[in-house]
Amino acid sequence: MTEDNVFPQDTTSIAPSVLVTIAQLATRSVEGVLELASPPRSMNRLIRQTTGAGVELTLQDEGIAASLYMIVDGTKNVRTVSEAVQNEVARAFHDSVGMDVVSINVFVEDVKF
């Protein structure tokens, strides 16, 4: 469909689980990420809109706020891996669904050698 065939009343809805999957795949694609970790249990988690293995997302008017929990290869620079994850997840959200990112917080829960 071209833009000429899009009407103002047309909508596109993206399931929150799709956004979680995008974040998971983007995180796992970064060299140095060994696996996603379970987010810590807290009362704060009860107010989150969308969660999945290693991912908590809050959908805001301005865009997506993501918290990512991961285990990193101990032979890699943790800061470099974390920054690469932030960049890759932001790119994935923008390229895949055209959504802006408000924040991407990375929590390294463990390192393995």
> Is residue 1 pLDDT above 70, yes or no?
no
Is 99 a domain residue? yes
| Domain contains 2 | no
> How many structural domains is the chain composed of?
1
Domain containing residue 43: 13-112
Residue 6 located in a structural domain: no
Q: How confident is the model at residue 47 (pLDDT cuts 50, 70, 90)?
A: very low
Q: Nearest Cα to 19, choosing from 88, 66, 70?
A: 66
Look at residue 2 and tell me whether its pLDDT is greater than 50.
yes
User: Domain of 17: which CATH number?
Assistant: 3.30.70.1350
Does residue 25 lie in a domain region? Answer: yes
- Token readout for 50 is 């969308």
8 inside domain: no
What pLDDT does 12 receive? 84
> Is residue 5 assigned to a domain?
no
DSSP assignment of 29-76 equals TSTTEEEE-PPPP-GGGGG-SEEETTEEEEEETTEEEEEEEEEEETTS
Residue 10 has a pLDDT of 82
